[in-house]
Amino acid sequence: MRELPCPYCHSTVSIADLAERYENADPVICNHCFKEFLPSPLADTGHTTEFPKFLGEVIAALIPTQPKDNSEKAAKFFLPRDRRFSLKVMSGLDVGRVHVVSKAVMTIGRDTDVDILIHDKGISRHHARLEVAGTHVWLEDLSTANGSYVNGARISRAQLIPNGTFTLGATRIHLHQEDFF
């Protein structure tokens, strides 16, 4: 069983416990010294938490992936009525720019024909696809050279956590979710 050491007291927390806390949007708190050493994915800390590489891989492995059957895609993706999603650029040339997710399937890249234009030479012209299926948001890398990253792990396709971040090239992007009640 893999474990992650607390940076304060060096006691360990199991990856399974860590992934469960993270999936529930809870901060990771050391069971020994009770200090928070990995904030909640919903926390706006103003900086990027550097996840150990294996932790990102474990969390990505715990999030289920959808089948890539293109015939079912059109029927599965839709915008929810009770919430709205937007993308806020947190770093890079477009820092501060907000893009409203206005369609269930949107393309992200640096070409003028994409739905979400990002000015970053490390991003491909057609870099990634964002897909919304009600309350679930998926990011799919479009077989790019530089890749797409969620929680520090390179992904081909991953479900995004509401109010979490992902990285394309040198640009970090925050997925914001606003609920309507």
Q: How far, CA to CA in Å, does 126 sit from each of 11, 18, 24, 43?
A: 44, 34, 32, 30
Give the pLDDT band (50/70/90) at residue 109.
very high
Does position 60 have pLDDT exceeding 70, yes or no?
A: no
In whole angstroms, give the CA distance from residue 11 to residue 31.
Answer: 8
Whole-number mean pLDDT of the chain? 77
C-alpha distances out from residue 51 to 10, 32, 68, 94, 107, Å: 16, 21, 28, 24, 27
* pLDDT-based confidence at residue 134 (cuts at 50, 70, 90): confident
54 alpha carbon, distance to own chain's centre: 16
Residue-wise pLDDT tens digits, 4-30: 667 677 777 666 666 666 555 556 667
Mean pLDDT comparison of 18-22, 48-52, 170-174, highest-scoring range: 170-174
Nearest to 39 by CA among 25, 53, 52, 60: 25
